[in-house]
Amino acid sequence: MNETSMTRLEFDKIKNQLMDFTVSPHGARLVAKHNPSANESTVRAWLNETKEAAQLLATGASVPLSAMEGIEPFMQLLGKGRIYNEQELQFLASWLAAVAQMRRYMDSKQMIAPTISAYADSMHDCANLRDELDRCLRYGQITDQASVYLADIRRHLAAAEDRIERRLNQTMSKYKNALQEQIVSKRNGHYVIPVKRELRKQVPGTVWDESASGQTLFVEPVDVAELQAEWQMWKAEEERERTVILSGLSDLAEEHASELHWNVEAMAAFDFIFARGKLSRTWDGRAPKLAAQPVIKLVQAKHPLLGATSMPLNVEIGRGWKQLIITGPNTGGKTITLKTIGLFALMTQYGLLIPAAEGTELGLFTHILADVGDGQSIEQSLSTFSAHMANLKEMLDAAGERSLLLLDELAAGTDPGEGIALSIAVLEELLGRGSLVAATTHFNEIKRFAASTDGCENARMAFDPQTLRPLYRLEIGEAGDSYAFAIARRFGLPERVIARAEARALLTKGDRPESNAAIEPYVGANMQRKSRDRGSQPGEMKLAQATNDDGIQAEGTSKRAFQVGDCVWIYPLKRTGIVFRAADERGEVLVQVQKQKLTFNRKRLSLYIPSDQLYPGDDYDMDIVFESKANRKARNQMKRKYVPGLTIETPGDDPSSR
């Protein structure tokens, strides 16, 4: 899998969360080096492991996973002839106890988790090694039970120390006038008493240290020198016996090297499996159905990084269509939809349960590539368009029937005409190779390509034009609008700017060349006024009409009756609409606003742009404005012949006057 694409899809954040659920460094390393697989049997096994771990955790039991403290340096030195110290062997003893506990725990959970509980059968508790460590060590110290000779040595040491203590007490009474204080201490392994420097000659013996001021000398009295020598002899014997015992325990550990290495791998695997189960439970994940074919069907899917409040997504690619072109407003959720599709595919092939409902189905992909974000890089001298081209080159090199390709903002970053042509050519190439593609765009030409091409389908992110809020819901089957004007209003752009932009959008709708001809006579008067005021400036155009200070034609200034196709200003909505039906006897005018038919009294409307200046010629087919493409196609078929089952559905008029 491509690491850059996984980062773009934020799969690295999922892995970081997974690492936080591991309890050992070995488990964390497994998370880091584990990669998504395209092998069906492997992915199926991983998902089953995670599912069983999640079920076991759901029972509320505490899994006795080991943090394997101190085991890593121990295992690195195993097999190199090292004699381990007491602390290292104590770590080994504690870990072997954890291995035995894990085996007992998993053996008791065979009914809940039969697959992963069987893994524990391969672990070795190394009973003889564990028993020997328990007999010889306690709290990081060698016990007297480690050997008979060690117990004997320690008895002699205790007796020697007792004799030294009694002799020192007698010595301190004998030389009490020469002492700084009545206290016995040790210096360099020798028992000493504190003697005043000026009275040093009164206390025969060896000076082993002095105080910081130099006024006190720490002297080993000659009376205890012989006893001290005996004690040191037994201490040396104890050290030799300690080395013998530690050497024997180290040799025993070396004999179990292969079993110990296997135990480390098994415990790390359990840590990794249960970390997957813990993470999957945080978002109530479930195992999707694995499809034999490269398809994606997400049901009520929630992006795992957005929390429980994220809106569920329903999307399907691969069966009825290979390409899904997603349109809709900015901030509407298009990019999140792409990331959710790619992230769920990666999570499934990694062995994680996904936050989606029953019915979710995913195929397996050998390549999952994403071109999300502008990709600009100063270090690599990449502009937005150059970055897109580099990503497209990579996608075209890898494209095949088991490739999932995610393209954000097609045709962005360059001349729209050339960008659109290049994007459609790329989509055609990918369609021919059978790759699954999900792409986002704002361009009508790409929407029309998807609507007219077999194997492609339009989809839109739902948007509420009344509240001007995105609904974060994907609706497959119809292209969406960008709602640039509605969003501009939401962010407080001046109404005069938005109104004039809407008028220009109506003039250039459909990118018809004749629209430019239609605009010329309408703006001519304004250009003449501009020329009189400050001289002619070629290339500047402005819409000219009788307006108030807000750029809206004053109510009642229009003398002629509204005609079908007129662009009118709607005062209650503060926006424009197209007259669908002229005023009736009560003065009610039916106006099309954002594909809806709404009724307004003519007093609440004013002429914005006459129809004869909006459309080329008197015979212009107004169905292009008012009818959907599907209805126009059906109507033409009806005109030619009878088609069984063919119907045309049109929404009813709004019954309420405004």
User: What residue spans define the domains of the chain?
Assistant: 3-126+256-282, 146-247, 289-490, 495-640
Who wins on pLDDT, 304 or 544? 304
For the segment 240-260, the average pLDDT, to the nearest whole number, is 92
For the segment 41-57, the average pLDDT, to the nearest whole number, is 94
pTM higher than 0.85: no
Per DSSP, 608 falls in state E
Contacts of 45 (CB under 8 A, 6+ apart): 115
Q: What is the CA radius of gyration of the chain?
A: 42
- pLDDT value at 20 more than 90: yes
- Residue 566 to residues 36, 301, 580, 653, Cα–Cα distance (Å): 58, 44, 8, 18
Query: Cβ atoms within 10 A of the Cβ of 594, count?
Result: 15
β-pairing, 185-187 vs 190-196, is antiparallel
- Residue 576 to residues 93, 352, 502, 580, Cα–Cα distance (Å): 81, 50, 7, 13
Task: For residue 354, give the nearest of 336, 337, 341 by alpha carbon.
Answer: 341
Contacts of 420 (CB under 8 A, 6+ apart): 410, 411, 443, 445, 446
As a residue count, the chain comes to 658
CATH 3.40.50.1950 fits 146-247, yes or no: no
How many angstroms separate the CA atoms of 404 and 601, rounded? Answer: 53
**The listed CATH number (3.40.50.2300, 2.40.40.20, 1.10.10.10, 3.40.50.300) that belongs to domain 289-490:** 3.40.50.300
- pLDDT value at 198 more than 70: yes
| Strands annotated E in 108-173 | 137-138, 141-142
- pLDDT value at 315 more than 70: yes
- pLDDT value at 540 more than 60: no
The CA-to-CA distance between both ends of the chain, in Å, stands at 58
- pLDDT value at 547 more than 80: no
Who wins on pLDDT, 325 or 168? 325
How many angstroms separate the CA atoms of 257 and 74, rounded? Answer: 11
Who wins on pLDDT, 382 or 213? 213
Token pair belonging to 491: 């962010």
Residues 92-121 pLDDT 10s: 999 899 999 999 999 988 898 899 999 988
pLDDT at 390: 83
Residues 119-147 pLDDT 10s: 988 899 888 998 999 999 998 899 989 89
Report the percentage of the chain scoring pLDDT > 90.
Answer: 37
State residue 591 phi and psi, 5-degree precision: -120, 135
Query: Cβ atoms within 10 A of the Cβ of 463, count?
Result: 24
Q: Which helix (H) or strand (E) holds 629?
A: helix 629-640
For the segment 69-85, the average pLDDT, to the nearest whole number, is 86
The rounded mean pLDDT for the chain is 82
- pLDDT value at 549 more than 50: no
pLDDT at 48: 95
Q: What single-letter amino acid sits at 46?
A: W
How many angstroms separate the CA atoms of 454 and 432, rounded? Answer: 11
Residue 279: band (very low, low, confident or very high) from pLDDT cuts 50, 70, 90: very high
CA 444 to chain centre: 32
Q: Which helix (H) or strand (E) holds 567?
A: strand 567-570
Residue 288: band (very low, low, confident or very high) from pLDDT cuts 50, 70, 90: very high
Note whether 3-126+256-282 and 146-247 share their fold.
yes
How many angstroms separate the CA atoms of 428 and 422, rounded? Answer: 10
Q: Taking a C-beta distance cutoff of 8 angstroms, is the pair 191, 168 a contact?
A: yes
How many angstroms separate the CA atoms of 509 and 624, rounded? Answer: 11
pLDDT at 304: 92
Residues 607-647 pLDDT 10s: 888 888 777 767 777 777 777 777 777 777 777 777 777 67
How many angstroms separate the CA atoms of 100 and 94, rounded? Answer: 10
Residue 534: band (very low, low, confident or very high) from pLDDT cuts 50, 70, 90: very low
Which of 489-498, 556-565, 598-607 tops mean pLDDT?
598-607
- Segment among 18-22, 323-327, 384-388 with least mean pLDDT: 384-388
Q: Is the dihedral angle over the CA atoms 571, 573, 574, 580 positive or is it negative?
A: negative
pLDDT at 383: 56
DSSP 435-498: -EEEEE---HHHHHHHHHSTTEEEEEEEEETTTTEEEEEEEETS-----HHHHHHHTT--HHHH
Per DSSP, 560 falls in state S
- Residue 643 to residues 454, 609, 627, 628, 636, Cα–Cα distance (Å): 22, 39, 20, 19, 11
Residue 375: band (very low, low, confident or very high) from pLDDT cuts 50, 70, 90: very low
Q: Taking a C-beta distance cutoff of 8 angstroms, is the pair 218, 187 a contact?
A: yes
CATH 1.10.1420 fits 3-126+256-282, yes or no: yes
- pLDDT value at 38 more than 70: yes
For the segment 222-231, the average pLDDT, to the nearest whole number, is 83
- pLDDT value at 519 more than 70: no
